[in-house]
């Protein structure tokens, strides 16, 4: 359920205008609310490493983008939040499938938002990566 602060049409407009890299990766925002997000990275040759695995930088980009959506869902689109830290544990090689990132904000303060992002290959129970991210929220 999209958050009241950020209706779906508004989100789509922002992403088209300000996040063209989102189209480069093919990210699909499947769901979001004030503090959560679920984003899909379609399996595609562009993100594949030798050996067939989706690359670390693509997982990083997915986690960062999903966190950005969850923060925007919580504070609205006016603010330009920026990533201050991302820490990724790569746990296992993902299956050859789309990747799904699920974000949960653990803290939404006046100045910092902290979230964790679980990344799985679609259909898998086990995580292929576990990410913790911090965003700095600008004064309003």
**Interface ranges with a second copy (CB under 8 A):** 18-21, 49-50, 55-58, 60-61, 64, 82-92, 106-107, 111-112, 114, 116, 126-127, 130, 132, 134, 136
- Which CB sits closer to a second copy, 19 or 79? 19
- Which CB sits closer to a second copy, 64 or 122? 64
- Which CB sits closer to a second copy, 7 or 56? 56
Q: How far is the CB of 88 from a second copy (least distance, A)?
A: 5
- Which CB sits closer to a second copy, 7 or 57? 57
Helix and strand counts by DSSP (H, E) for the chain: 3, 6
Question: Residue 133 CB: number of other CB atoms within 10 A?
Answer: 26
- In angstroms, how far is the first alpha carbon of the chain from the final one? 25
Q: How far is the CB of 36 from a second copy (least distance, A)?
A: 15
Instruction: For residues 60 and 45, give the distance between their C-alpha atoms in angstroms, rounded to a whole number.
Output: 17
Calculate the dihedral angle through the C-alpha atoms of 18, 22, 28, 32, rounding to the nearest 10 degrees.
Answer: -50
């Amino acid at each position: 359920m999209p958050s009241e602060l950020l209706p779906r049409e508004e989100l789509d407009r922002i992403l088209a205008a300000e996040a063209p890299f989102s189209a480069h990766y093919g990210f699909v925002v499947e769901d979001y609310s004030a503090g959560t997000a679920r984003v899909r990275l379609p399996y595609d040759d562009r993100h594949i490493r030798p050996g067939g695995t989706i690359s670390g930088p693509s997982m990083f980009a997915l986690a960062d983008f999903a966190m950005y959506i969850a923060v925007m869902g919580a504070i609205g689109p006016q603010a330009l939040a920026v990533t201050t830290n991302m820490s990724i544990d790569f746990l296992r090689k993902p299956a050859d499938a789309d990747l799904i990132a699920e974000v949960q904000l653990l803290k939404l303060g006046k100045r910092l938002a902290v979230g964790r992002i679980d990344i799985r290959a679609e259909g898998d129970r086990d995580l292929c990566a576990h990410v913790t991210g911090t965003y700095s929220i600008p004064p309003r």
